[in-house]
Structure 1
Amino acid sequence: MLQTSHHPMLNVAIKAARAAGALINRASLDLEALRINTKSPNDFVTEVDHAAEGVIIETLLGAYPDHGILAEESGRTHGNKHSDYVWIIDPLDGTTNFIHGLPVYCVSIALAFRGKIEQAVVYDPTRNDLFYASKGRGAFLNDKRLRVSKRTRMSDALIGTGFPFRRGDNFKRYVKMFEEVMQHCAGLRRPGAAALDLCYVAAGYYDAFFETGLQPWDLAAGSLIVTEAGGLVGNFTGEADFLHQREVVAGNPKIYAQLVTMLAPYTRVIKEEDAAAPAAPVAEVVPAAPAPKKRAAVRIKKDDSGNASA
């Protein structure tokens, strides 16, 4: 099944993702039996998240005992906190869909070396689809090379998004953004698993994607898969530092540039005191995705009235 040309670390990540996917598939057959703990309203965590994360960490540390781990459910309680290599894991992205039996969820595993993402795997267990990338070697779905779409007009573009859903999210700001993007594009989609959404940009199913409020483990793997497929990933002002900004735009270069122009007025580049709040451990990693080779040709400045001008 596996190509022998894969990087050995990618092979281990694929093995871990498939093991977690098998566990998730088994659990999906008996959803009633799951005990659900609510982390906070609308933010579910199940036994399955924990079990899947456990099997991933066991597989990764079994192969690389001296590597570090940053995982959604257990934070940094495993692995070597001082390693240059850090695995960034979301064992089940799309938990709410999973709990409802809606088959849109995935396992996301990325490896950062000194803060740069080098290996990425996103596995969709309901379709047995494996998206993966190694830095500099392209992005693939199963064994097929991925390229972002070639559409250039916003009016033709299909764009993915995710709604904010936690208390404290800025819904009003989001609704304004949503309204503006919706009026300019061919359609807006919201399946509910950001890691898969990024893979859909890489595969050209979407022309672009944007979301606010995401954590590094939602973005780490998908962002490398997008850039290796020829796409761009950044924050709402087009800079490459999106992993800790809780806002992300990804797309083919042409649609990305247009979307950044549209979203820049809504940016909320996180201030240091915000970043130090609940997600403090994340700040240690800083695995910014590879900066776009060509910086998007859009630089946004706000004038005093708050209007954006390119």
Structure 2
Amino acid sequence: MDIYNFAKDLIVEAGQFIEKRMLESFHVDSKSNPDDLVTDVDRETEQFLSQRISEQYPTHRIIGEEGQGHDVHDNKGVLWIIDPIDGTLNFVHQSENFAISIGIFIDGQPYCGLIYDCMKADLYHAKYKEGAFLNNVPLEKAKEVPLSRSLIAMNPKRFLNERIRTPFFSIMSKSRSVRSYGSAALEFTMLARGQISALLFFRLHPWDYAGGVILTNELGYKTSNVFGQDLPLFGTTSVIAGNPLIHQELLAYFENDKDLKSLHDETHNL
């Protein structure tokens, strides 16, 4: 079995593991702030995935949100970037609207991306230059829709900082409307399905976007940070993803914003 098909089977198994584990009690902790939650299920799911990958492919390396591979700083060989539960707040409060996200890279180049919507049992997957799918159904290519006719996903709470809020507030006012779904991975799947035209974040980690970027790029969507630069495999960054037309529109809101550039450099240390 090749890596792609192994990963498809594995992510579904991990989703089934989560479903069973949800029936039992679990502990909830906070990490960087009281709203940044982590549970026993996050950690156990990451361990489940890591163990299975290591058994099948001992030379592969893994970076996971909950601590796996945080000492990895180069992209040599096969690298799995994993978020065991993207949308932990939703997992805790709603018992739905969360996903497992996996991006696999070989020597820094995209190989495949997978996002599993656990409670809907929907698997989004793409192998580089071979198209993108929802379960076994091909997804449609990106359609060029302008900001003025678009529903976009962003987290308004992030943009209350006075140093950065002006361009984000301008984008919100120019768009048709804004939504915040609480899971970057699921927002990438909504982009892939054409349910939103763009998503915009000021701070994400690679495990938040690795799978989604590969998925949506296969469909002709564009991804970058807010200054049009490629997204890194390590550290944190801002993220814009959208159809080619809206992607260019959004970049124009940030290109001359010196305050945002200064805070971006301070926050992400890129």
Q: Give the TM-score normalised by the residue count of structure 1.
A: 0.77
What residue in structure 1 maps to residue 87 of structure 2? 94
Cα pair 2:142 2:219 within 8 Å, conserved: no
Structure 1 stretches of 5 or more lacking a match? 1-6, 277-310
Structure 2 stretches of 5 or more lacking a match? none
Deviations, residues 64-94 of structure 1 (Å, cap 9, x unaligned): 1111111111231799x88511111100000
* Secondary structure of the structure 2 residue equivalent to 1:88: strand
* Secondary structure of the structure 1 residue equivalent to 2:104: strand
Q: Is 1:56 aligned with 2:49? A: yes
Of 28, 34, 43 in structure 1, the residue corresponding to residue 26 of structure 2 is 34
How large is the RMSD of aligned CA atoms in angstroms? 2.6
Q: 1:82 to 1:116 in 2, by over 3 A?
A: closer
Further displaced range: 156-165 or 221-230:
156-165
What residue in structure 1 maps to residue 223 of structure 2? 233
Report the alpha carbon displacement of residue 242 of structure 1 after superposing the two structures with TM: 5.0
Q: 1:228 to 1:177 in 2, by over 3 A?
A: same
What residue in structure 1 maps to residue 200 of structure 2? 210
Give the alignment of 1:27-176 within 5 angstroms.
27-30=21-24, 33-40=25-32, 41-76=34-69, 84-163=77-156, 171-173=161-163, 175-176=165-166
What residue in structure 1 maps to residue 12 of structure 2? 18
Of 246, 260, 264 in structure 2, the residue corresponding to residue 255 of structure 1 is 246
* Secondary structure of the structure 2 residue equivalent to 1:263: coil
Cα pair 2:91 2:98 within 8 Å, conserved: yes
* Cα distance in 2 between the residues matched to 1:224 and 1:82: 16
Report the alpha carbon displacement of residue 212 of structure 1 after superposing the two structures with TM: 1.2
Cα pair 1:133 1:224 within 8 Å, conserved: yes
* Cα distance in 2 between the residues matched to 1:273 and 1:263: 16
Q: Is 1:220 aligned with 2:214? A: no
* Cα distance in 2 between the residues matched to 1:273 and 1:150: 33
Q: 1:267 to 1:236 in 2, by over 3 A?
A: farther
Percent identical among aligned pairs is 30
Cα pair 2:144 2:244 within 8 Å, conserved: no
Letter paired with 1:35: H
Letter paired with 2:162: K
Report the alpha carbon displacement of residue 249 of structure 1 after superposing the two structures with TM: 0.3
Letter paired with 1:236: V
* Secondary structure of the structure 2 residue equivalent to 1:213: strand
Letter paired with 2:15: G
What residue in structure 2 maps to residue 303 of structure 1? none
Further displaced range: 87-96 or 115-124:
115-124
What residue in structure 2 maps to residue 246 of structure 1? 237
What residue in structure 2 maps to residue 306 of structure 1? none
Q: What is the aligned length?
A: 265
* Cα distance in 2 between the residues matched to 1:215 and 1:36: 21
Q: 1:257 to 1:114 in 2, by over 3 A?
A: same
Report the alpha carbon displacement of residue 204 of structure 1 after superposing the two structures with TM: 1.0
Report the alpha carbon displacement of residue 109 of structure 1 after superposing the two structures with TM: 0.9
Further displaced range: 224-233 or 70-79:
70-79
Q: 1:268 to 1:64 in 2, by over 3 A?
A: farther
Letter paired with 1:216: P
Q: 1:147 to 1:83 in 2, by over 3 A?
A: same
Cα pair 1:148 1:252 within 8 Å, conserved: no
Q: 1:251 to 1:82 in 2, by over 3 A?
A: closer
Q: 1:75 to 1:238 in 2, by over 3 A?
A: same
* Cα distance in 1 between the residues matched to 2:3 and 2:217: 19
What residue in structure 1 maps to residue 269 of structure 2? 275
* Secondary structure of the structure 1 residue equivalent to 2:10: helix
* Secondary structure of the structure 1 residue equivalent to 2:196: coil
Q: Give the TM-score normalised by the residue count of structure 2.
A: 0.88
